[in-house]
Structure 1
Amino acid sequence: MTETICISPVDNSEYARRPVAGDDQVEAVFARARLVQRDWARLPIAERARYCSALTDAMLALKDDIIPELAWQMGRPVKFGAGELGGFEERARGMIGIAEQSLAPVVPDPKDGFKRYIKREPLGVVLTIAPWNFPYLTAVNSIVPALMAGNAVVLKHAAQTLLVGERFQQAADKAGLPEGLFTNLCLSHGQVGKIIAARLADQVNFTGSVEAGKVIEQAAAGQFIGVGLELGGKDPAYVRADADIDFAAENIMDGAFFNSGQSCCGIERVYVHDSLFDPFVEKFVELTRGYVLGDPLDPETTLGPMVKTSAADFVRGQIAAAVQAGATAHLDPKDFPADKPDTPYLAPQVLTGVTHDMSVMTEESFGPVVGIMKVSGDEEAVRLMNDSAYGLTASIWTRDLAAAEAIGGEVETGTVFMNRADYLDPMLAWTGVKDTGRGATLSQVGYEMLTRPKSFHLRHTV
């Protein structure tokens, strides 16, 4: 029997082990989902909202179990565990709240003798493939809206966060969702490809690596099903000459190092106007020294381990290569006693003297390192921000709203932030450009991705 195993980054122990679903079980789950979905789609939106609100309530009731589980599964310090559920609730309730309006028929101007409108119909069965780094937040982006739109959902969660999928199932069952409408399945990568290629699902929403996204697109080729992909990121921040240094440094630091830098929309590169460069770097480094690297189950820890030793080693390699090429590392790992080679525990690092010839400024790090470059002004900053294969978010730190809007219009990205970073507003579309993927979740636009238009052209006079 094939099994999926979660190895905890806390101490490299086995934390969970589950059997992979058999092929017969997989086919039965999708067949049942398709059958149940038909009746679910006929329910009024208000009734679906009642179920989805109950699911949200049931998940929040599991808070005391979920927070330590997150620490064990992916290294998130318990100090910040509640934030994941806070974001989960905000997105779930936000999408429930706008469902009626977002799914309402589109009615053109009246035309004598005709009734005309565009109805939003559910796609059918949505396969959500969720990642480990923000396991509740990323999953809820498609699960609750898909259900609200009248779809059935099958969830395949990352092996690293096996228990998260089970918590979703527990919450769905507690909420009384019709049996088979939502199902968590433990699947292998090969099974996912077969599910897509066999068109068992009508929509696939995937969050993960560019490489895996390409595999999913290849599996979906010729199947004419929807594919939503949120992939990698190398998100920039630009500190203009009029920025508040203290405010910018504190918030950019948090955007770079929260979750040990393991965020697709975390800040990985910073461009600072030359008039502010030295004081900004000084403040940024000073604040970064305040992190406490250690056991994520310790309430004093503010920076936990990375998810795997191999991931930490990749970042160590990027740092070493940058320093060898002339970059300056501003933090001594010895000041963070928990930092140890051949473990996932990695101290934060701030680099200057970096260039776009270095991997650390162009290739996704997904770890606690950030490079800071000096720029002469807006034009150079925009050029460097756009010099990337990715485009998820970009943040601009300034007191000038008009300047932020103008610069944001030139940056190739899915979301433009002014004076904030690393945040998803449920009322705005979450999307990306270039190798970051395609499609969108959240907001009314997210509902458009989970439904299909059906036009009614009715002549009622003859």
Structure 2
Amino acid sequence: MSADASPAVPRFVAGPKKNLIGGAWVEAASGRRIEVLNPATGNALCSIAQGDAEDVDRAVAAARRAFEGEWRRWTPHERRKLLLKIHDLVLDHFDELALIETVDMGAPLARTNGLREWTSQVLQFFASHCDAARTETVPNSLPGQFLTLKHLEPVGVVGGIIPWNGPLIGLWWIFGPALATGCTAVLKPAEDASLSVLRITELMTEAGVPDGVINVVTGYGAEAGQALAEHNGVDRIAFTGSTGTARSVVRASAGNFKRLQLELGGKSPDIVFADADLDKAVPGAAMGVYTNSGQVCVAGTRILVQEAIYGEFVERLTAFTKTIRVGDGLDPETQLGPLISQRQLDRVLRYIGLGGGEGARLEAGGNRLGGALAAGFFVEPTVFAGASNDMTIAREEIFGPVASVIPFADADEALRLANDTPFGLAGGIWTESLSTAHLASRGIDAGTIWVNCYGVLDPAVGFGGTKASGYGWKGAREHVESFLYPKAVYLNLG
């Protein structure tokens, strides 16, 4: 495999990458490495350390030493200053970080550069919560003279396992609240996309994060990820990924009853009522499927459309889909980049084949792209009409740009179809009726609902799922406080 020597590839990408353990950049104990490919070209970028249980053990030990050391004596103000310094340094280097993310996992520069403001917002949000580990007095009804207090204390060492579809976003859900609350962390990024995490970690150490407070072990989920989930020195695990892998994480966490936060898959319904403004609903619902080439857990891939407008909606969605420009993320005209890997491309193409085989009507896309893009992992954005809720493409998470358009008669049927899924991550509603919007948003069993929009996210509000889409909340006060545990203190003043 030839190395990618494009002049657009950032200098950081060149050369082998190591793990960060206890403030030092070190090779994997085994000496093994993983080759990193540019998904747009299929060319090698560099290699990362293939960490395993031994590396995780060293990282957890370093995190424990840091947690029990000087870091515990840092004041909220000192942690806030550190997070704000990280904020400034990351923003100063954001052009480089966006470029690294694009060549590593394929997202267009328009998307990765667009995360600049969100990154600023999320870092400032966590900086504003550095006093979350607070103490409050609690009234009591005890006989005599008792003062009762409740402390919120940092849980300790937090393990984070994040996926490849947005590491530039995903790492902050671990490192942000850990630094805000006084925890320490060991992060295992996805082997397919670790480079932006490693570069940000360099910047965080440059900003003054003490040795061992943050640690990064790259490697495969079955080795490094499993070891982190099993480790008895880890007090809390935050996992984002597939439902199947989450079952392994839950089982592994039982050894020391770790606290868990799970953000898992989805097959989210996006409901278009007959009174919807189609000038907004068509592109909005389309990009609810296609954003990040469909590699988004909240993607609204089941588009439920009321029968009165079904034909028109499919026609307009098909026309819109055919205008989307797919290509190398480094091209400023690109709207959709490649899928992350050959493995993911094969998976998406298999589902597209199943859709046609089950009787859905292919209206747009459905093919791997060739020509100048043949070496990369590109697939056309795809529309299936005439789909039904019992088809495989409407039941299983594809994680690719594949829309299943399903008709419904009335609001009752729309909600029945929306909730006929094991998942409960997100949902969308397009309507001009406030009453319909309110009733439907209450009726969908999911953690996040968007009305006349899709996919927007504010860290101060946060998001989460229900049913097989996991539990726990990302963002908002609840997320920060999940890195803390309550401690009651009874003082007898008599």
TM range (shorter): over 0.9
Q: Secondary structure at the match of 2:398?
A: coil
Aligned to 1:69: 100
Structure 1 residues 24 and 366 mapped into 2: Cα distance closer, same or farther (>3 Å)? closer
Moved more, 253-262 or 193-202: 193-202
Distance in 1 (CA, whole Å) between partners of 2:130 and 2:439 is 32
Aligned to 2:49: 19
Query: Would you say the 8 A contact 1:431–1:438 is kept in 2?
Result: yes
Q: Which structure features the higher share of helix residues?
A: 1
Query: Would you say the 8 A contact 2:460–2:475 is kept in 1?
Result: yes
Q: Secondary structure at the match of 1:10?
A: coil
Q: Secondary structure at the match of 2:192?
A: helix
Deviations 1:303-324 (A, max 9, x none): 1111112322222222222223
Distance in 2 (CA, whole Å) between partners of 1:244 and 1:274 is 15
Tell me which amino acid in the other structure corresponds to 1:218.
Answer: R
Query: Would you say the 8 A contact 1:16–1:162 is kept in 2?
Result: no
Q: Any unmatched runs of 5+ in structure 2?
A: 1-30
Aligned to 1:294: 327
Q: TM-score, normalised by structure 1?
A: 0.93
In the alignment, does 2:73 pair up with 1:42? yes
In the alignment, does 2:443 pair up with 1:413? no
Structure 1 residues 22 and 206 mapped into 2: Cα distance closer, same or farther (>3 Å)? closer
In the alignment, does 2:235 pair up with 1:180? no
Structure 1 residues 23 and 416 mapped into 2: Cα distance closer, same or farther (>3 Å)? closer
In the alignment, does 2:260 pair up with 1:227? yes
Tell me which amino acid in the other structure corresponds to 1:79.
Answer: A
In the alignment, does 2:215 pair up with 1:165? no
Aligned to 2:407: 374
Distance in 2 (CA, whole Å) between partners of 1:167 and 1:343 is 24
Distance in 1 (CA, whole Å) between partners of 2:401 and 2:356 is 16
Distance in 1 (CA, whole Å) between partners of 2:492 and 2:169 is 46
Structure 1 residues 284 and 323 mapped into 2: Cα distance closer, same or farther (>3 Å)? same
Distance in 2 (CA, whole Å) between partners of 1:58 and 1:239 is 43
Q: Secondary structure at the match of 2:193?
A: helix
Distance in 2 (CA, whole Å) between partners of 1:401 and 1:145 is 36
In the alignment, does 2:273 pair up with 1:243? no
Selected match of 1:118 from 150, 153, 169: 150
Q: Any unmatched runs of 5+ in structure 1?
A: none
Number of residue-to-residue matches in the alignment = 460
Distance in 2 (CA, whole Å) between partners of 1:420 and 1:338 is 35
Aligned to 2:128: 97
Structure 1 residues 23 and 323 mapped into 2: Cα distance closer, same or farther (>3 Å)? closer
Tell me which amino acid in the other structure corresponds to 2:282.
Answer: A
- Equivalences for 1:219-368 in 2 at 5 Å? 219-332=252-365, 344-368=377-401
Distance in 1 (CA, whole Å) between partners of 2:176 and 2:400 is 29
Kindly state the Cα deviation for residue 333 of structure 1 after the two structures are TM-superposed: 5.8
Kindly state the Cα deviation for residue 245 of structure 1 after the two structures are TM-superposed: 1.3
In the alignment, does 2:489 pair up with 1:456? yes
In the alignment, does 2:181 pair up with 1:149? yes
Moved more, 275-284 or 255-264: 275-284
Selected match of 1:82 from 91, 106, 113: 113
Q: Secondary structure at the match of 1:159?
A: coil
- Superposed CA RMSD in Å reads 2.3
Tell me which amino acid in the other structure corresponds to 2:108.
Answer: P
Tell me which amino acid in the other structure corresponds to 1:105.
Answer: T
Query: Would you say the 8 A contact 2:185–2:215 is kept in 1?
Result: yes
Tell me which amino acid in the other structure corresponds to 1:430.
Answer: F
Kindly state the Cα deviation for residue 24 of structure 1 after the two structures are TM-superposed: 5.2
Kindly state the Cα deviation for residue 386 of structure 1 after the two structures are TM-superposed: 0.8
Aligned to 1:397: 430
Moved more, 207-216 or 399-408: 399-408
Kindly state the Cα deviation for residue 43 of structure 1 after the two structures are TM-superposed: 2.2
**Percent identity between the aligned chains?**
28
Q: Secondary structure at the match of 2:468?
A: helix
Q: TM-score, normalised by structure 2?
A: 0.87
Kindly state the Cα deviation for residue 355 of structure 1 after the two structures are TM-superposed: 0.9
